[in-house]
Amino acid sequence: MGPPSSSGFYVSRTVALLLAALAVALLLALLILAGLYGHCPRAGQVEPCSSGVPDAAPSPPPGAEEREPTPQSSPAPEPKVPTPSHDQRPPGPWDQLRLPPWLEPLHYDLELWPRLRPDALPAHRLRFTGRANITVRCVAATARLLLHSLFLRHELPAVRGPLSPGARDAAAGRVPVDDVWFAEDTQYMVLELGEALRARWPLRAAAQVRGPGVRGGQEGLFLNVYTDQGERRALIASHMEPTFARNVFPCFDEPALKATFNITIIHHPSYVALSNMPQLGQYDRTDINGSNWTVTTFYTTPPMPTYLVALAVCDYDQVNRTERGKEIRIWARKDAIANGNADFALNITGPIFSFLEDLFNISYPLPKTDIIALPVFDNRAMENWGLLMFDESLLLLQPSDHLTDKKTLISYIVSHEIGHQWFGNLVTMNWWNNIWLNEGFASYFEFGVINYFNPKLPRNEIFFSNFLHGALSEDHALVSRAVSMKVENFTETSEINELFDSFTYNKGASMARMLFSFLNEHLFISALKSYLEAFSYSNAEQDDLWRHFQMAIDDQSKILLPATVKSIMDSWTHQGGFPVITLNVSSGVLKQEPFYLGKVENQTLLTHNGTWIIPILWMKNGTTQSLVWLNKSSKVFPEMQVSDSDNDWVILNLNMTGYYRVNYDKLGWKKLNQQLEKNPKVIPVIHRLQLIDDAFSLSKNNYIEIETALDLTKYLAEEDEIIVWHAVLANLITRDLVSDVNYDMYPLLKKYLLKRLKSIWNIYATIIRENVAALQDDYLALISLEKLFATACGFDLEDCLQLSRELFSKWMNHPKEEIPYPIKNVILCYGIALGSDKEWDFLLDVYTNTTEEEERIQLAYAMSCSKDPWILNRYMDYAITGSPFTFNETNVIEAVAASEVGRYIAKDFLISNWQGVSKRYGPQSLVTLIYIIGRTVSTDLQVMELQQFFSNMLEEHQRISVHAKLQTIKNENLKSKKQSARIAEWLRKNI
C-alpha cells in the first residue's frame, strides 16, 4: 500500500487488528457469508428466485466449489422461504425508509466472484456469487437485525458471539436465527434471533449465498458488451449510488453508516480486477470443473459509505502518471489507449488533484486513483473513491473533437468528480436530503478549477450557460422543491433517485457561488477547510457547514451580515423557487416577490408566503457599489435612485452571482435601453446577457410588457458577443413564434433581425472560411454557433446559404474534409434542402456506412430537410419497409413531419401507410404524429378536421387523449397569436 496521508488517517491491516483487540468490548461482529444471491428474475425470465434457503455449512475451501452448470443445464429450483406481504407482517421498523439505530457497521470483508470468461461472453446477464462479512457495533439491545437487501437470495445466516478478546470465529457461541424474511417494499432483510443481542456485545455469524445477478442495467453490478480490436468483448463494473449496493451484497446502505472494506474479487486470469484501493495480493484458484481463476485482494479502504464501493473486471489497457508520489491510471479499450484518446484526461487529472489539495490544504488520502472509461455508462460519471467511472464519450478525446466543446466538457466533468473526493467521499452528507452538499459544491468547484487553469475563459458567462440559466429556467414557486429537504419528506427509495436533478446540481452550484459572492475568497475557502477537516471520514448536515461559515465570520470584523449564515442560507435552501426583485429607480424602493410561471393567470394560486434574505451586489453608471441586503418584502435604498441624466443608470445583481431575476420600473428599463443604444460596451457582457435573459423571461411570465424586452434588442447591430446573440435568438427564434401560425410576424422579424445580424454573422463566417481552427478554444462560440447559423440560413441570408453549399460540396468531393462540428447539423440540413437527389443519395450512402449512433441520428434528421416531395415520400417508404435500411435510431416520419414542407407530405403519406407506420414505430407513434402535424391548429374546425383525418387510425382511448391535447395546442397557439400580434406591431414601428 502507499504511504499514509499527511492528513486524516489510514488504517492498515495490522493496525486494524490491534485496534480491534483493544476495542473488542465495543464491537459487535455480524458475519454474513452470502451464497447464491443475485437479482430476482424480471418479467419475461423463467429462472426461479427465492427469498432465502436453509442454513448451510461454512464456505468450502478453494477448489471445492460446486460444479458449474453446463450451458445445456439449468440450476435446480431452490426452496423458498415465505416473505410476508405488507398486509400480513406486523408493524415494525421494516416499515420505515431509514434503518433503526441498533447497529453501526465498522468493517466489511467482501468477496465477489462474477463468472465472466473471454471464451463464453454473455449476451445480457451473467451469474455471480460472493460473501459479505460485516463487523458491527451494537448500540441498543435487540432480537432483530435489519440489513438492506434487494433481489438477493440468501442462505439462513448463523450468528455467533459474544466474542472474547482475540477470539476467532469458532470460539464464539452461536446465537440462534429463528427466521429470515424480506420486507421487499422497503428493501430489508430481517433476521429474527432466538435471543436478544445486548448493547456492546461483539458477535459474528456465517452463511453462504449464490445466484444470477449481473445484467445489462446499470444498478449494482452491470455488464458492458463492446468491440475492441475488432473483437467482441465484455466487462463488469459497479454503480452503487445512491441505493444499489444492496443489489450486490447485504449491507447497511445509508451514507452515514460508514465502514472500512476489505474487497476480494475472483476473476478470469486474462482480466484485470480493479477496486477502490491498490492491489494487495493475488493467488490462483481452480474450481471443480478444472477452470483456473485468479483471486485478487485489495488493501483496506478508509471509512466510506456503501455507495462508494467500486469494482471493475475488464480486458483493458491503461496509461499512467505519478502526481505527488501517487499513481494515476486511466483504463480504456485497447484501441483507445493505442490511439492516445486517454492522454488528454490523464494530463489534466494530476494537476486538478494538486490544485484542490493546495486549495483545501488536505491531501488526497488514497494511495492511487484509477479512472475507467466504460463503453456505456448511463450515469455519465461516478466519483467512487479510488476508482472513478466515466462514460467513455465524456473522458476520451477523439482526433475529430478538436472543433467541439468536448475538451472543455471533459475538463469540467473530470474536475467535478475529483471535487467529490473531498465533497462527498471525505465528508459525506448525513442523508440524501442534503445530497446538494456533494453535488452543488462539486459542480461549483468544477467551474472554479477550470477557470484557474484557463484564466482567459469568461467565467461569469460560462457559469450562466452551464448552471444558472438551466436552474432559473426550471425553477419557480409553485412546483419546485427545496434544495435541502426534510428527512421526513421521504417515504420511498425511488424518491432518493429523483434528487439527482438540476436543482441539486445547478441550483446547488448557484447557492455555493452566491455564498462566495457576499463573503470573500479567504473567508469562503477557510470556512470550507475547517468544515472538511472537522468532518473528514465522517458525515455532516447542512447546519454543520453553516456553523463553520459562521465561525469564519465571527473571527473577523470586516464583513458584516444582516443575519447568521444559517438564517441567510436557509431562506434559500429550505424553500423552493426564487425571488424577482423590482427596483423603482425614481423612489429607490426595492421589493421582492416569488417568481411564478404566468404571474397574472396564477394570482389565485399564489400560496408562497416566504421571503428571502437577498444579497444585492450592484453597479451604478458602470461603477461597482457596496453590497446591500434586502431582508424583508420591501425596503428603500436612496442610493439606487437615478437622475434625469442620460448617463445615469443602475444594474442589480453584479455578475449574476445572486440566484434571482431583476425587474425595474419603466424608467429603469428605459435608462438601460438608452445606454445600450448609446454605448453598449459600457455595460459588461455578462449584464448585456442578463438584461436579455431576465427581460424575456419576465415578459413571458407577465411581469413586464413584451415591448420592454424587445426595446433591449435595438442596439444589436453593435453586439459582437455571440453568447448575447444566443440568448436573443433563443428567445425570439422559437417554434411558437417562427411558424405559419404567426405568418404575419415572420417576415417582419426576419427583416428586423437580419439588419442587425450581419455584423456578428460576418465575424464568424470569416473565421469559418479562413481560420476555422481559431474556434477550438472559444467555448462560447462552440456552444452558440449552431443557433446563429440556423437563424441566418433560416432567414435566407444569401451568404449563409452559399456557405452551406460550399461546405457540403467540399465534403462530398473530399470526405476527409470534415464540416466544422459546431455547424454540422445546419450545413447538412441546408446542403440537402438546397440540393437535389444527388446530395440526398450521397448522404444516404454515408449513413449506410456509418456505425456510430450519434452520427447516424444526425444524418437521418438531415435527410428529412429535403424540400422535394418525391424524395421525402421515398425516404418515409424506406423507413417503414426497412428497405434498403432500417433507420432504427430515428422515427423518420416524425422527422419529416417536423418541417413546414414535410408536415403536409407526412400527413398525405399516412393516408395509405398508417398501418405500416404503426407496425414500424408502434401505435403511440401515430398519436405523436398527430401532435406534430397539428402543431399549428388554432380553431375548433381545424381540430375537428384533424381528428376526422386520424379517426380510423386510433383506438377509442387514444381519440379522447388526442382531442384534449389538440385543444391544449389550439389554446396555446391562440395565446401565441396574441403575443405575436403585439410583437408584429412593435416590429413595424422599429424596422
Enter the C-alpha cell of residue 850: 456509418
- The span from the CA of 207 to the CA of 219, in Å, is 25
Q: How many helices (DSSP H) and strands (DSSP E) are in the chain?
A: 29, 36
- The span from the CA of 26 to the CA of 24, in Å, is 5
Amino acid at 447: F
Q: What percent of the chain has pLDDT over 90?
A: 68
Amino acid at 175: V
Check residue 989 and report its DSSP letter: H
Handedness of CA 397, 399, 402, 404 (dihedral sign): negative
**Catalytic residue status for 417:** yes
pLDDT of residue 487: 79
| Res 61 pLDDT > 70 | no
DSSP sequence for 748-794? HHHHHHHHHHHHHHHHHHHHHHH-GGGGGG-HHHHHHHHHHHHHHHH
Alpha carbon separation from 12 to 16, 311, 467 (Å, rounded):
6, 20, 41
- The span from the CA of 859 to the CA of 850, in Å, is 9
Pairing of strands 260-267, 292-298: antiparallel
User: Per mean pLDDT, which range of 439-453, 663-677, 942-956 is the poorest?
Assistant: 942-956
Amino acid at 36: L
Q: How confident is the model at residue 208 (pLDDT cuts 50, 70, 90)?
A: low
| Res 20 pLDDT > 50 | no
Residues 6+ apart with CB under 8 A from 582: 590, 591, 592, 593, 662, 663, 664, 665
pLDDT of residue 480: 75
Task: Give which of 700, 614, 620 is closest to 658, Cα–Cα.
Answer: 614
The residue among 864 and 206 whose pLDDT is bigger is 864
User: Per mean pLDDT, which range of 153-157, 659-663, 764-768, 783-787 is the poorest?
Assistant: 153-157
- The span from the CA of 847 to the CA of 830, in Å, is 17
| Res 310 pLDDT > 50 | yes
DSSP-derived 3-state class of residue 525: helix
The residue among 799 and 122 whose pLDDT is bigger is 799
pLDDT of residue 608: 56
- The span from the CA of 226 to the CA of 400, in Å, is 21
Among 78, 155, 417, 894, the one annotated catalytic: 417
476 is in an annotated binding site: no
Q: 879, 893 in Cβ contact below 8 A? A: yes
Q: Where are the alpha helices (DSSP H) in 257-405?
A: 334-338, 343-360
- The span from the CA of 295 to the CA of 436, in Å, is 38
| Res 691 pLDDT > 80 | yes
- The span from the CA of 24 to the CA of 31, in Å, is 15
Residue 894 CB: number of other CB atoms within 10 A?
A: 20
pLDDT of residue 164: 61
pLDDT of residue 158: 66
The residue among 701 and 168 whose pLDDT is bigger is 701
pLDDT of residue 215: 62
User: Per mean pLDDT, which range of 338-342, 398-402, 788-792 is the poorest?
Assistant: 398-402
- The span from the CA of 448 to the CA of 442, in Å, is 10
- The span from the CA of 149 to the CA of 146, in Å, is 9
The residue among 645 and 348 whose pLDDT is bigger is 348
- Would you call the peptide bond into 815 cis, given omega within 30 degrees of 0 as the criterion? no
Q: 969, 729 in Cβ contact below 8 A? A: no
Enter the C-alpha cell of residue 786: 449552431
- The span from the CA of 292 to the CA of 268, in Å, is 7
Q: What percent of the chain has pLDDT over 70?
A: 86
Q: Which helix (H) or strand (E) holds 636?
A: strand 634-636
| Res 772 pLDDT > 90 | yes
DSSP-derived 3-state class of residue 823: helix
Q: 733, 787 in Cβ contact below 8 A? A: yes
Which residue is associated with the grid cell 419546485?
480
Domains of the chain in start order, with CATH, are 102-315 (2.60.40.1730), 318-421 (1.10.390.10), 430-574 (1.10.390.10), 578-600+607-702 (2.60.40.1910)
Q: 696, 730 in Cβ contact below 8 A? A: no
Check residue 436 and report its DSSP letter: H
323 is in an annotated binding site: no
- The span from the CA of 178 to the CA of 158, in Å, is 9
Q: What is the mean pLDDT of residues 647-664?
A: 97
DSSP sequence for 28-47? EEEEE--EE--PPP-TT---
420 is in an annotated binding site: yes
Whole-number average pLDDT of the chain: 87
Which residue is associated with the grid cell 384534449?
964
pLDDT of residue 209: 55
- The span from the CA of 617 to the CA of 757, in Å, is 32
SS3 content of the chain, % helix, strand, coil (to 5): 45, 20, 35
Task: Give which of 891, 823, 901 is closest to 866, Cα–Cα.
Answer: 901
| Res 217 pLDDT > 50 | yes
Which residue is associated with the grid cell 440556423?
790
DSSP sequence for 163-189? PPTT--GGGSPEEPEEEEEEETTTTEE
pLDDT of residue 152: 83
Measure the CA angle with vertex 30, ends 26 and 33; round to 5°.
155
Q: How confident is the model at residue 40 (pLDDT cuts 50, 70, 90)?
A: very low
Q: How confident is the model at residue 197 (pLDDT cuts 50, 70, 90)?
A: confident
* 454-471 confidence digits (pLDDT tens): 988 899 999 999 999 999
pLDDT of residue 46: 24
